[in-house]
Structure formats: C-alpha cells, structure tokens
Amino acid sequence: MIKHDVCNYLRPSHSSASSAFYVLLLSYVAAGILSLAALPAGAYELPSATGTHRVAFSSEEGDFNEYTRVINLKGSVQLDELDQENKVIKIIKGRNLSIDVASRTIHVPEDFVMDSDSGTVYGKSGMFDYYAETGHINDGRFTYKNFVFFGKKVELAEKRYIYKKATITTCDESPPHYQIKASRIYLAPGRYFLAYNTLFYIGKMPVFYFPVLYKPMAGGTPFISSFSPGVDGRNGAYVKSNYIFRFSPYTKGKLFLDYFSKKGFGAGAEVDYQKKEKNITNLSVYRIREYGAEDDRWGANGGSWHMLSRFNETDRGTYYSQVFFRALSDPEFNNDFFRSNPFAVSPDKQASLAFTRKSNSTITRLSFDEKYTRTPDLKHFHKSYESAPRLDFQTVPFKLGKTPFMNTFNGYFASVKEADLPYYQKKGRGVWTVSEAMPLARNITFFPSVFYDARVFVATSAVTADLWIGRYGTSLNLRYDRLWGSFDMRYSYTGRLAANKLAKDRRAADKGEEISSLSPELFIMPHYNTYFKANTSYDLRNSARGSFADHLSTMTVEYYHAPRKNLDIYLQDSYSFAKGNRSFVAQVNSGGTQNYTGLGLASYNSQPGVLVFNQTFGFKVPWADSWRAEAILRYKLVHEAGLNFTGFCFFEKSLILYKDFHDFRTRWDFRVRRGVKEFSFLLSLKMNDPARNDRLEESSRNYWHPWRKVGQIRD
C-alpha cells in the first residue's frame, strides 16, 4: 500500500526559493515512488511540508511521471484533502485516479464517491482543481439529508454545485415514486437550491410545469410550495399554486399564482411580520381580470399594530398606531375565489386607522373609521358609517383626595356620518362613574355605583341645532359567592334629562325613565368541565305596559359539559315569557384529531319554523387505513307544529379526503354551496412540510385568520 502527502503550497510566485522548493518536492515524490516500486519493504515516507492546502493519498499501486508530473494511482484509491489544521475536508474514493501536480488537478476516469461536510456525491467520472475548489462531475448523484440531486453534468464552483439536465427527489425507492426534472439546478449545500424550467413527474407521468423552483435548506423549512388543481362550475378547471418563504424569524411572505380556465389568471400575495414588542402586521392582496371584463376584480385585507417612539425622554406614555382594513371590488368576490373565508357569504367592507397614547392613568385614542354594506342587488357597496375623526379618552379607576370611592371617566367626540343621513354630525359623550365594593358578610358583597352621562350634538346643517342631553343613574349589585359559583341580583336605573335642560324629560312617553330593572343572574360551576348560567331582567318602569310576562326580558340559559376528554356538549336557549322561544343552539363534539363527530342544531326567531343542522364527521376510511375523510353537511328542516316537517334543503355539502403517500400528501376537496360547485386537489411534497412548531404562522392565524385550519395556507 502506497501512502503519501502532496503539499499544495504552490501559490503563484516568481521567487527562486519557491521554485527550488517545488523542484525538491517533486524529486522527493519521484524518489519515493521509485523506491516503493523496487523494494517490497515498508513504505518510503516523504518529508512533510508545511502547506496551507494539500492532499494525501493511499492506493494498492502507483507511479510518478517526472516529465508530465502526474501521479497515477490504482486499486482501492483514497484521496484526502486537508486544510491548514490537518483536518480532512474532502475524501475521494475510486478504482483509478491521477494527480497532476503541475496543474493541481485530480482526474477520476471511472466510478467514484466523494464525501464532504456537504454530503455524498457519486459520479461516473470527474475532474477537480483542489486548489481553486472547482471541477466537474459526469453523471453526478448527490445526497443531502433526504434530498437526492442528479445531473448529467455537475460543475463545481466555490461552495456551490451547478447541475445540468438534472432531477430532484426525496424518494428512496428505485425507480422513485416522483421526481422533478430541471434544465439546470444551482445547489448550495446547507443554504438553498434553485431549479429552472422544472417539470414534476409522478412515476413516468408529467403532472405540471413551473419555470422556477427555489428552496432554502437551512433553519427548518422556511420555503413551502404547493399546487392545488381543481374544477368548479363557475371558474372551470383551475390550478392554484402557493409559495411561502421565511425571510427572517419575524417575516414570512406568500405568493399565489392561479389559473382558471373560464376566468383567466389571478395573482396575490400575503405578508406577515411579527415582532410583538414593536410591530404586528399582516397584508393580503389578490386580483384577477376575468376574460371579457373591462375592470379588475380584487380583494385586500390586513392590518398593523406598531409601537411608536416617545416624543421626549421625560414622557412616560406609550404610543402606538393601529390599522385595519378589508376591501373588495364587489360583494361576491370572496364567494367566487376565497370560499373558506367567513366573509364569503356575508361580505362587508371597512377600514380604520387609530393613534393611541397609554399612560399609567389614561388612554387617549384618535381614530378614523369607515364601514360599507352591500346594496340589495348584491353587486355594489354603499357607505353605512364614517367617523373622521373620533377622539376617545378614558381613565383607569382613581380616587379623589381621601374619599374611599373609585372614580372613572370615559368619553369621546367625533365627526360622524351615519347611514341615510346626508350630513355629518359632530357629537360627543362623557360618562363619569363613582363606585365602591362593600363586603357585607361572609360570601356577600355589595357593589353600588352612580353615574352621569352627557351627550352633545353640535349643529352641522341647517336642519340641526346644538343639543345636549344628560342622563344619570345607578347600578346596585348584590353578589353571593361560593366555591360552586355565584348569584347576582342587580338593580339598574337610568333617567334622562330634557334636551338642553337640567330637568327630567317628563313629557316623553317613557317619562324620562329609560331603564328601571331588576336583573338576577345565576352562575354555577361545580367542576372545571361544567358550568350553567341563566339571566333575565324585570322592567320596573311605570311607563311599561302589559302583563307580568311582558315586563320580563328574554331569559338566556347556557350550559356546557365535557364529561370526558373527547366529548363536550354546549346548549343555549333564549326564551321570551311573552312571545315564546326566540332561539336555540346546541352543539355536541366527540372524538379526537382523526376520528370525530360534531352535531349542531339551531333555531332562530328570524326564521320561524326552520331548524338549521350542522354535521361534521372525521374518520379513517375502514377499508383503506391510509385514507382519512372529513364530511360537512349543513341543511334546513321546515316544520309547522311539533315534528310535522314540510320542507328540507341542503345549503352546503362538502367532503374532504386526505391521503399520505410515500413522498407526498394529498387532499381531495368536494364542495357544494350557494352558487358554488367545486372539486379541488392539493398535492404537497413531504419535503415541503412546515415546521411542527411554527410560532409565526400560528400567531398570525390566531390574530388575523382564526377561521383557518392548522396547515391551511390561504382562504
């Protein structure tokens, strides 16, 4: 066995000392090889030289040509590339290998394996410049973590591979279940890969094409790409593509590129930024110009909370701004393109901007708001409310002097335009409240409070005049507290003064008494998984007319019980003693994350004689364990008296199937709803699985899109 070091200390130099050292080194190499060829004894050791970059080799046979300055090695060849600290940074193994000392290159004419910190490369042949760290590999196959890259030719640059006529896969089967073919791939191990002109294959079948595929490969999975083909009655066949990139621990961006065969191309984006002590921001936009349309259809929504700098160092207040908006080109936009959005079938449009100062004792807020509702024809919006601006001010509870009572004040002044009014109103309100908590006995506490409420209207039109109206009142609450819950008995009174006067408004129909009521409330919680709550009120005003039942307000009863981990029951009923039952809601959920059942029932006085059912089922398919299903049924039953049903109709049906294959996950979605008949298919490679604990995504979903399910990329 031949073992030698070849020093790569041959940096460009014209000094005679370097030339002499180079000639001396070559003579030692030649002498060592000739001696080994002549002697069957132990290996002849070359003197080690102090180099910054060198290679060491071992083989069964070897020879050196002093004219060509080439070392030829045969049989179990191993070549180690070492750094200045003698640490092995690259290992090449093969049957044949030659080292050109003059050009500092390594030639491998047959199959070889190269190992480094980046991973393992297999090749049919190749050439390497071990000083410049460049070269090429023919039929190169590179494995990195669970990725397999192949290129007909692979060029090596500094810390980067360039694959030509390449493929990517994470499947360890042969042949692979899937692969992505690309004309060129740029791979920087441990950092990213970038592929151009890609075509996705399942087996030998091409599925879809995309011009560019990019994926960072450090810090978890900061980049996710997924494709969802489908079809629906309105938009035709479509493909929705989603691309997610994590710019930093605080910032994530999403790009949406879609094609609808009947409507055209749509594009959108979403950005999340969260640095909770400084800024929380979300922005989503989407636009499409449908075939034959003159104008774009679009939607935009999001908001931002931002901590502002103080005006000076002596100011102890905290300043921040808040923005929120939801805008649509037309009321049907969400229902046509974003059907999991809860505003898809109940659309509205609004925007708000606010600046707030918060101190230890006060909160001051300057805001601007606009709200729009849809017109009866469902095609346009009209403005229903605008405040520009509105100033709010409130205090935390405080004491005046040595008095034992707590005082609070809150008020606002605004320029407001409300629906059906052709002019702006300038109006304000201020409420001063004095309260105290008085323990009377064990488990019994008395909470009295009094208030004065003043409302001001400033003339802004010829049909209005300056106006102020005062209100005064009290709230007396007696509470009985026990470990099992509490019982409250509250008396409330609100009196109204006449306009612009300090006298009671006795000429009004209610004699100036807006509220005079007695309100009992019972809350029982015998265990952490069970509670019962009931409340109502009795109108004590002299102006109130009717029977005893007419004086009683609607009673609300609420019950929750979770007898075991995977079962919870919720019931709520609102009952009017004068008009009968007003609404009823019931929901029962049972099961875990994969096998579960949900049943909901609702009845509302706005639709008398109609029962609304909501059923959800999640289960593993019995005859195919690798499949999981989720079904949703929402329907109405019309009845006259008792259980005499006269009508039945579904207003939403959907079935979602989930199937995990060896290398990718799939979702099959069937949905039928008002104006919607849709089938969609989502395929996501396992290599694109999001991080298990993506706090940014989870926080954004809870803050901005609480209706989205875990792992759901978009509405």
Q: What is the 3-state secondary structure (H, E, C) of 605-634?
A: CCCCCEEEEEEEEEEECCCCCCEEEEEEEE
Place of tokens 């999991």: 340
pLDDT at 479: 96
Q: Count of CB atoms within 10 A of residue 504's CB?
A: 16
* Apex 320 CA angle, 314 and 326, nearest 5: 170
187 vs 152: CA distance, rounded Å: 15
| Residue 150 contacts residue 170 (beta carbons within 8 Å) | no
Cross-strand partners of 168? 149, 180
pLDDT at 46: 38
* Apex 536 CA angle, 531 and 539, nearest 5: 165
| Residue 574 contacts residue 542 (beta carbons within 8 Å) | no
In a domain? residue 304: no
Number of structural domains in the chain: 1
In a domain? residue 496: yes
pLDDT at 522: 97
In a domain? residue 523: yes
In a domain? residue 34: no
Please list, in sequence order, all residues whose beta carbon lies within 8 angstroms of the beta carbon of residue 164, skipping any fewer than 6 positions away.
151, 152, 153, 154, 155, 183, 184
From residue 377, alpha-carbon distances to 219, 381, 651, 686, 704 in Å are: 51, 10, 21, 46, 30
In a domain? residue 529: yes
Cross-strand partners of 632? 616, 654
Sequential DSSP letters for 9-36: ---S---HHHHHHHHHHHHHHHHHHHHH
Q: Which letter, b or e, does each residue of 132-150 get, where b requires 16 or more Cβ atoms within 10 Å of its Cβ? A: eeebbbebbbbebeebbbb
In a domain? residue 100: no
User: What tokens does 147 get?
Assistant: 């990725």
pLDDT at 579: 86
Residue ranges in the chain whose pLDDT is less than 50? 7-51
In a domain? residue 507: yes
pLDDT at 643: 61
Sequential DSSP letters for 118-171: TEEEEESEEEEETTTTEEEEEEEEEEETTEEEEEEEEEEETTEEEEEEEEEE--
Residue 699: name the closest of 415, 280, 299 by CA: 280
From residue 626, alpha-carbon distances to 178, 590, 594 in Å are: 19, 22, 12
pLDDT at 35: 36
In a domain? residue 257: no
Sequence-separated contacts (24+) of 65-69 with Cβ below 8 Å: 66/26, 66/30, 68/100, 68/102, 69/26, 69/100, 69/101, 69/102
| Residue 232 contacts residue 254 (beta carbons within 8 Å) | no
Amino acid code (one letter) for 42: G
pLDDT at 15: 34
User: What tokens does 554 get?
Assistant: 């609607």
- Enclosing domain of residue 517: 475-534
Q: Count of CB atoms within 10 A of residue 358's CB?
A: 14
pTM: 0.65
3-state helix, strand, coil split of the chain in percent (to 5) is: 5, 60, 30
631 vs 157: CA distance, rounded Å: 53
Per-residue pLDDT reduced to its tens digit, 309-362: 877 777 788 999 999 999 999 888 888 888 777 776 667 789 999 999 999 899
122 vs 112: CA distance, rounded Å: 6
200 vs 180: CA distance, rounded Å: 5
How remote is the C-alpha of 597 from its chain's centroid?
A: 26
Residue 331 burial (C-beta neighbours within 10 Å; 0-12, 13-18, 19+): buried
Please list, in sequence order, all residues whose beta carbon lies within 8 angstroms of the beta carbon of residue 73, skipping any fewer than 6 positions away.
2, 57, 59, 61, 62, 79, 96, 97, 98, 99
580 vs 460: CA distance, rounded Å: 45
| Residue 182 contacts residue 215 (beta carbons within 8 Å) | no
| Residue 573 contacts residue 534 (beta carbons within 8 Å) | no
Per-residue pLDDT reduced to its tens digit, 527-575: 999 999 999 999 999 887 888 888 999 999 999 999 998 999 999 999 9
Q: Count of CB atoms within 10 A of residue 272's CB?
A: 26
| Residue 363 contacts residue 397 (beta carbons within 8 Å) | no
| Residue 226 contacts residue 200 (beta carbons within 8 Å) | no
| Residue 545 contacts residue 576 (beta carbons within 8 Å) | no
Q: Which letter, b or e, does each residue of 313-327 get, where b requires 16 or more Cβ atoms within 10 Å of its Cβ? A: eeeeeebeebbbbbb
Place of tokens 């805008």: 327
